[in-house]
Structure 1
């Protein structure tokens, strides 16, 4: 794999990463005030959103991946006409699927709310329902453009969605609160921002795909498969991917049903169970999702068309090097994220949401726990899973790209079953209670990652042993976590309290941890010069390190 194609792949990943980072920051700016506004009633918003997320994944998970992969293969062969035909078919299919799911969610919102025991989420579900149609159209266009290796429109549309989510959603939620509306109505106004944002993101992509002059594929092969053949191929690629992604979201949706019911069944009142579930979903899962989706998931998005294109052009060596690079970079990024979040979970939650968030929770043993303490423990458990979540995303994309899309489907389905079983057993144990949910999530992703790793080995992919790939980055991550914890503890002893002071301590601890990670991974040769050059600004960093004789 030449330097040009190496950098092309990382540039694409960087575009999505930067966009995701900006979007996630906006998302945090949305989530923190909303959580503080609704407090424990944030569970109403999260319940509606989890139903939407499940239906969204079922309706859109497979076809964008199939579109991206097939368009990339057609473009690599110079079949511009076929690439465009794939896009048209996908757009039509997406539109129909999105309309059906949007209508179903709107009509059956009351029954879904009754089934999940989140009775106050009906309004929010109906407000967010049209988004399913909009996002299906958006996904079709994004899949087409990503297949052509054009990541900029995806990035811009994501930013548009996030901007309106923040401005409209948060603004309307505060207005509703000032009018004395119930939490159910406030949550509905909050999700209105998501609906408006996705609508305008869709409008932008429609205009871009219709009028942009940057969409170009050399027409050197005039061949084009029939519509029937294209639809059949789409189904063969999309169905396993849809089942793979949907299984995970179905399992997380099961949390919405199982966790609260299990807490009530173990002796907690409905109000306390709602507070616990709100703290877990409103604080812990929001922050745990932030890091992998910002820095690692874009690698999976970018690697699929890159590998598909290389395989279509019969460049096996180039595809193998893409696979190795994506696995290594994913782990090198994910490990310090896991380590730092594990040791800094509580201070991070306190800085973002305040130490007095929510009402004190009365446990069954008579103790009283603050929601932030409950959420911090859950977040530390989820932090361990960040590494596995990130690698599941990357290995899923790798297996899909090499034509083994049914294997991630099996891996994730088995993991999802483990999650549901873990929830049913662990949450019902009084001493474990809500912590059974993050433990179940951790078990789910460990199982899925293990299955994918074995599958890659059996598919003939080289250098995928976790010990070979991640032993040295793991050592560096442990050192970083220890350094961050030590610095935070020291600062805690010599400084006062307060949100700004906590922010300062958290910032110092995080920076020290990252510096230690970089120093240790270089000292123990846990990253190569080539891998450094693949990172954003990697050439400049590698050149500086060579001058300083830190690397050779």
Structure 2
């Protein structure tokens, strides 16, 4: 393998990683529906209390450190510093290994303390299990960084998808078996968390196979005490500053879930709920996570595919080519984010029944669904800023949003319950989005989207929402004629999605939010033009 120099190869590699990320994110969202059906709301609460900590490991080993290692490795290879490139891998493995061991020790031996701080001592077993992936992430991070630095994205893509498949299979299999055998829901939760271990081990085996197949050799062969002192400082500095900045920027949804894991259960208890009621309420609230994640993935996967091209224009100083791509990326995320957020919020009752067997908490989930719009725009702007070499600012803003969410939870949940948590999430995301929009405008020196375009998109979403409310009101009779109710909900939800999408794009076209040529640049744009223009 040779270092990547050709822009077409860069785009090809970026698309491979984008497709792999899309598959893994869809799997990560979809498996939670059958898992909740197996373990119920309380079992879902148990798993979701620990999931954000594993989610942090996934981001570190997938988006954060591999990106930095690959960038540094490519630079050293291009400069002809083969020995320094090898030492980069060795130092990265040792440094990340130290971090991994420290985190493992903290979560394993501090499991009882962490569970007590959250307010549920029975979670200690799950925290012991989730400590193990911290020992695995240094190896996967360095392997992926190495292959990406070589321009070979296939090992990273295969390892990501395989890891997620094995993890999901382990979660669903162990949860079903443990529940069927009559063990506690906490045991089922621990079995589900164990999926992160099996998935991580499979990923390492696949990456190791590719490494040996390519005859890369031992990165420690060019390693000495003198080299250690000469290279450690710049490698560690890059990993700490850039690695953690990129990682935090990719943790938006995970950090919001982490805030809920840390203080929602205890706040619900302060509200006066019993332990079982609080666990059930948190589990119902967590039903929104797969819906939000899937909606955000759909809305952003189309816009984020443009980011590598933006980075390419920046690296070649083609400033005039950046603005049109940034505008298209934001237009795409806003259009599909608004459609997904408002559409899901409008049909949340049948969607809730269809996926989770009943309509409990639909009012809260309806509010929470609006996260999709804010999240889509935030993730798109964050990726654009990273493509323009702005790493620190978006990470700092997202971290501040997490703090805001944590504090608002404490203030709102004791008064209005899980609805307070939903309001806290939307407030934190709205502030984060506005700050990032202002930053992007400052970097580019001009606004990207016109106010008229934004108003037309929101108006189209409002018309769609009104139509869907009327549609549900008319078709609610089906629950009395179609048995079971879940089948009626399936028919209502899917027909609502199709009709809502039609209405949204019909209004979008008729208000001339986009010209025919601009519509053609959108995903499925040719279909939209054929349907509404011709």
1:211/1:464 CA distance change after superposition, 3 Å: farther
Paired residues for 1:414-433 under 5 Å: 414-429=400-415, 432-433=416-417
Residue 396 (structure 1) aligns with: 382
1:44–1:120: 8 Å Cα contact kept in structure 2? no
Cα distance, 1:12 vs structure 2 = 6.7
Q: Does the aligned pair in 2 maintain the 1:91–1:140 contact within 8 Å?
A: yes
Post-superposition offset of 1:298: 7.2
Aligned residues of 1:320 and 1:461 also touching (Cα < 8 A): no
Residue of 48, 51, 65 corresponding to 1:49: 51
C-alpha distance after superposition, 1:94-137 (max 9, x if no partner): 34433332333222222211111122222222223222333443
Aligned position for 1:550: 533
Asked if structure 2 preserves the Cα contact closer than 8 Å seen for 1:69 and 1:308, the reply is no
Residues 51-66 of structure 1 mapped to structure 2, 5 A cutoff:
51-54=53-56, 62-66=64-68
In the alignment, is the contact (CA less than 8 A) between 1:412 and 1:448 conserved in 2?
yes
SS in 1 for 2:31: helix
Question: Does the CA contact (< 8 Å) of 2:52 and 2:255 recur in 1?
Answer: no
1:437 to 398, 421, 425: 421
Tell me how large the CA RMSD over aligned residues is: 3.6
- 1:291–1:235 distance in 2 versus 1, CA, 3 Å: same
Q: Is the 8 A contact 1:102 1:129 kept in 2?
A: yes
CA distance in 2: counterparts of 1:468 and 1:80, whole angstroms: 52
The equivalent of 1:518 in structure 2 is 505
- The separation in 2 between residues aligned to 1:520 and 1:186, in whole angstroms, is 47
Deviates more, 1:415-424 or 1:97-106: 97-106
Deviations 1:19-61 (A, max 9, x none): 4554455445532232123222322211122333346557876
Task: For residue 337 of structure 1, report the CA deviation from its aligned partner.
Answer: 0.7
Match in the other structure for 1:330: 333
Is the 8 Å Cα contact of residues 102 and 132 (structure 1) preserved in structure 2? Answer: yes
- The reply to whether residue 307 of structure 1 matches residue 310 of structure 2 is yes
How many residues were matched structurally? Answer: 510
TM-score, normalised to structure 2, is 0.83
What is the DSSP-based 3-state SS (H/G/I as helix, E as strand, rest coil) of the residue aligned with 1:296? Answer: helix
Q: Say if 1:453 and 1:464, in contact at 8 Å, map to a contact too.
A: no
Contact 1:61/1:246 (<8 A) preserved: no
- 1:17-416 map, 5 Å: 19-20=20-21, 22-24=23-25, 26-27=27-28, 30-39=31-40, 40-54=42-56, 62-67=64-69, 89-143=91-145, 152-211=154-213, 228-242=233-247, 244=249, 249-250=254-255, 252-281=257-286, 283-296=287-300, 299-300=303-304, 302=305, 305-355=308-358, 372-374=359-361, 376-416=362-402
Which stretch of the first structure deviates more once superposed, 92-101 or 30-39?
Answer: 92-101
**In 2 relative to 1, CA 60–419 (structure 1 residues): closer, same or farther, beyond 3 Å?**
same
For 2:313 and 2:39, the matched residues in 1 are separated by 49
Deviation at 1:535, TM superposition (A): 4.8
Structure 2: where are the runs of 5+ without partners? 1-5, 216-229
Distance change in 2, residues 1:5/1:488 (3 Å): farther
Unaligned ranges ≥5, structure 1: 214-224, 356-371
Deviation at 1:513, TM superposition (A): 1.3
What's the CA shift string for 1:329-355, capped at 9, x where partnerless? 222221111111110112111101112
CA apart distance, 1:208: 3.2
The aligned counterpart of 1:505 is: 492
Provide the secondary structure at the position in 2 that maps to 1:428: helix
Q: Given that residues 331 and 387 in structure 1 are in contact (C-alpha distance below 8 angstroms), is that contact kept between their aligned partners in structure 2? A: yes
Deviates more, 1:202-211 or 1:45-54: 202-211
Structure 1 pair 276–13 and aligned structure 2 pair: CA distance change class (3 A) = farther
Q: Offset at 1:278?
A: 1.5
Q: Which moved more, 1:54-63 or 1:164-173?
A: 54-63
The 3 A distance-change label for structure 1 pair 520 and 203 is farther
